[in-house]
C-alpha cells in the first residue's frame, strides 16, 4: 500500500508542476503583439506636455511665407493605453494663429485659438513587433475629432468663430526611462466642418467676414515635449493553454494508476523466501529537487516553494552542502539562455538564503543554459535542480 500511495503522490506532483509551465508552441514572447492576448489592468495612463509652432493654410494666408505664418502654441494631453498598441487621449492646445487679408496678405488680424480633440492612437511598432516594454522607439499615427474656438481682433468676447474639427497626426516617441519619453508630433486640423445654424457665424465687423471665410481651412502644427507614464506600466501576456501537454500528463497519470493497481494484486509476503535481515546504512544525501519556471521567467512561483522548504530543512539539519544548477530550454539564442539559467539559479539561492535562512557557504551555484537538457519535455527544462554536492 505504501507503494501505491507513493506512486499516486508522484503522479500528482508531476501534474501540478507541469501545469505551471507556459505554452511551448508558439511562445508569446516571440509573436507580434497583434497575435497575443494581454490582460487588462488599471494602469498605463499618460500625460504629455508639448510646445511648438502652428500655421494656417487658408485663403489670403497662402500669399505669405510660411515663416511669417508661424505662431507659438502649447498642448496638454491626457490618455490611456488599453493594450500595447491602442490608446485614446484628450488633447487641449492653443496659441497664436496669424490671419492675413488681401491679395498679398498685407493686413494681419491679431488672432488666437483654443482647441480640444479626442484621438484614437495606434502604435505601429508594438503592433507588428513582439511586445517589449523597454522598446526605445515608437511610431504612433492617430485620428480624432474635436472643437476649435478662434478669437479675432482685440475684443475676444465679441469677435470669434468656432467650428468642429477633423484631426490627424503622427507622433514619434523615444524612451528616456521607465516613465518618461521624449516625443515629437506633427498634426493637422481641418476646420471646414462649420454648421452655420448650430454655431455662431454672425458677420464679423473686424474682418468683414460673413461666413467664417478667413477661418475655414487647414491648420498645421509641429510640437515636441515629454510624455509621462502614470500608474502601472506595461502589459502581461495571457498564455494559451498547452492542451497537448495536458493530455500527455493525463496519460502518464492513468498509466501510473494502472501500474499501482497491478502492484496491489501482488502478495504482501513471500513465505518460501528466507528472511533477510536488512542492513541499514545512514547517508545524508539530498535527492534531486526540481524548481520549475515559467517561459522566459526567473521568478520562483509560490507553488515551487515547498521543494525549497524541504531543501532548507535538510541543509539546516545535516549541515551538508548542496549544488544549485540552472537550466533553460533551447528556445531563443544560446547566450540569452545562458544568462537566463544564471538568473534562475541565483533566484533559487536568494529564496534559500533570504527566506529560509540557509547559510550561503553551504551552497554552490552553477548554470548550464540550454547546453544540457535534463528532461525529454522541452517545457520541463525551464528548471533549477538542487542536489547534494
% of the chain with per-residue pLDDT over 90: 35
More confident residue, 11 or 334: 334
The whole-number pLDDT of residue 101 equals 63
Q: How far is CA 283 from CA 144, 320, 387, 388, in A?
A: 74, 11, 14, 11
The model's confidence at residue 96, banded by pLDDT at 50, 70 and 90, is confident
pLDDT at 193 over 70: no
Q: What is the mean pLDDT of the chain?
A: 79
Instruction: Give SS3 for 149.
Output: strand
Q: How far is CA 101 from the centre of its chain?
A: 51
Full set of structural domains in the chain with CATH: 30-230 (2.40.160.20), 285-389 (3.30.1330.60)
Report how far residue 119's alpha carbon sits from residue 165's, in angstroms, rounded to the nearest whole number. 12
- Is the Cα torsion angle 59, 62, 63, 65 positive or negative in sign? positive
d(CA 386, CA 288): 6
Task: List the grid coordinates of 57.
Answer: 493654410
DSSP code for 323: E
Residues facing residue 116 across a β-bridge: 92, 147
Model confidence pLDDT, tens digit, residues 217-272: 788 899 999 999 998 888 888 766 666 767 777 778 888 888 887 777 766 665 66
pLDDT beyond 90 at 289: no
In sequence order, the β-bridge partners of residue 78 are 47, 90
Amino acid at each position: 500500500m505504501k507503494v501505491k500511495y507513493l506512486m499516486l503522490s508522484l503522479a500528482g506532483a508531476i501534474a501540478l508542476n507541469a501545469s505551471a509551465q507556459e505554452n511551448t508552441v508558439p511562445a508569446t514572447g516571440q509573436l507580434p503583439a497583434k497575435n497575443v492576448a494581454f490582460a487588462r489592468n488599471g494602469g498605463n495612463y499618460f500625460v504629455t506636455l508639448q510646445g511648438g509652432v502652428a500655421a494656417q493654410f487658408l485663403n489670403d494666408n497662402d500669399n505669405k511665407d510660411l515663416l511669417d505664418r508661424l505662431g507659438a502654441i502649447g498642448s496638454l494631453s491626457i490618455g490611456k493605453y488599453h493594450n500595447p498598441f491602442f490608446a485614446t487621449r484628450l488633447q487641449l492646445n492653443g496659441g497664436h494663429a496669424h490671419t492675413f487679408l488681401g491679395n498679398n496678405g498685407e493686413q494681419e488680424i491679431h488672432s488666437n485659438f483654443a482647441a480640444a480633440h479626442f484621438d484614437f492612437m495606434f502604435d505601429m511598432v508594438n503592433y507588428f513587433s513582439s511586445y517589449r516594454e523597454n522598446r526605445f522607439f515608437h511610431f504612433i499615427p492617430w485620428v480624432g475629432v474635436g472643437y476649435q474656438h478662434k478669437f479675432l481682433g482685440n475684443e475676444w468676447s465679441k469677435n470669434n468663430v468656432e467650428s468642429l474639427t477633423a484631426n490627424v497626426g503622427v507622433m514619434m516617441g523615444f524612451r528616456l526611462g521607465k516613465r518618461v519619453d521624449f516625443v515629437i508630433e506633427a498634426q493637422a486640423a481641418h476646420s471646414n466642418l462649420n454648421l452655420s445654424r448650430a454655431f455662431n457665424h454672425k458677420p464679423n465687423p473686424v474682418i468683414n467676414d460673413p461666413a467664417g471665410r478667413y477661418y475655414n481651412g487647414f491648420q498645421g502644427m509641429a510640437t515636441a515635449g515629454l510624455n509621462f507614464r502614470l500608474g502601472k506600466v506595461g502589459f502581461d501576456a495571457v498564455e494559451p493553454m498547452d492542451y497537448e501537454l495536458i493530455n500527455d500528463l493525463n496519460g502518464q497519470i492513468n498509466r501510473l494508476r494502472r501500474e499501482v493497481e497491478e502492484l496491489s494484486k501482488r502478495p504482501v509476503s513471500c513465505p518460501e523466501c528466507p528472511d533477510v535481515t536488512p542492513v541499514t546504512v545512514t547517508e545524508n544525501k539530498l535527492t534531486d529537487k526540481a524548481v520549475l519556471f515559467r517561459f522566459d521567467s526567473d521568478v520562483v512561483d509560490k507553488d515551487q516553494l515547498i521543494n525549497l522548504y524541504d531543501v532548507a530543512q535538510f541543509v539546516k539539519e545535516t549541515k551538508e552542502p548542496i549544488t544549485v544548477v540552472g537550466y533553460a530550454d533551447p528556445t531563443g539564442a544560446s547566450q540569452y539562455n545562458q544568462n537566463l539559467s544564471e538568473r534562475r539559479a541565483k533566484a533559487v539561492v536568494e529564496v534559500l538564503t533570504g527566506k529560509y535562512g540557509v547559510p550561503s557557504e553551504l551552497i554552490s551555484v552553477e548554470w548550464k543554459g540550454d547546453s544540457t537538457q535534463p528532461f525529454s519535455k522541452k517545457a520541463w527544462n525551464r528548471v533549477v535542480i538542487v542536489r547534494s554536492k
